[in-house]
């Protein structure tokens, strides 16, 4: 089974910061990677698919990059509404999915 490892697990940041979250797959997954944002008590929200394609309606401060085994999610200028937990998800093994363990972005 493909394993997804995110880093860091959590960190603190300030509004306006540029933040980067990384996700590593245990084997190559080409660009079959999505990123989600989840806020407490809510369902996940799809931000990015195909590693770098922004889902419609998602602010352009979010961006994704990478292919193969190493991926990043970048938030160029952190806003108050961006404090949340972020998950990467591989769908290379479609229709089965694997999620990373999550990265919690907290207010400094």
Partner 1 sequence: QVQLVESGGGVVQPGGSLRLSCAASGFTFSSYGMHWVRQAPGKGLEWVAFIRYDGSNKYYADSVKGRFTISRDNSKNTLYLQMNSLRAEDTAVYYCAKDQLRGAIHWGQGTLVTVSS
User: Which residues of this chain interact with partner 1, rule CB under 8 A?
Assistant: 1, 32, 34, 36, 38, 43-44, 46, 49-50, 55, 87, 89, 91, 94-102
How many residues make up the chain in this entry?
Answer: 108
> How is residue 4 written in tokens?
């997804």
Q: Which is nearer to partner 1, 17 or 102 (CB)?
A: 102
Quick one: 33 or 75, whose CB is closer to partner 1?
Answer: 33
Q: Give the nearer residue to partner 1 in terms of CB position, either 71 or 89.
A: 89
For residue 60, what are the contacts with CB-CB under 8 A and spacing of at least 6? 54
Smallest distance, partner 1 to C-beta of residue 50, A: 6
Is residue 90 within 8 A of residue 2, CB to CB? The reply is yes
């Amino acid at each position: 089974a493909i394993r997804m490892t995110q880093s860091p697990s959590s960190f603190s940041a300030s509004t306006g910061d540029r933040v980067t979250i990384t996700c590593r797959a245990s084997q190559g997954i080409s660009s079959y990677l999505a990123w989600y944002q989840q806020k407490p008590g809510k369902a996940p929200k799809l931000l990015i698919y195909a590693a770098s394609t922004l889902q419609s309606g998602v602010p352009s401060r979010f961006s994704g990059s990478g292919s193969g085994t190493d991926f990043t999610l970048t938030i160029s200028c952190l806003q108050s509404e961006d404090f949340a937990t972020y998950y990467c998800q591989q769908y290379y093994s479609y229709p089965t999915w694997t999620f990373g363990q999550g990265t919690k972005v907290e207010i400094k």
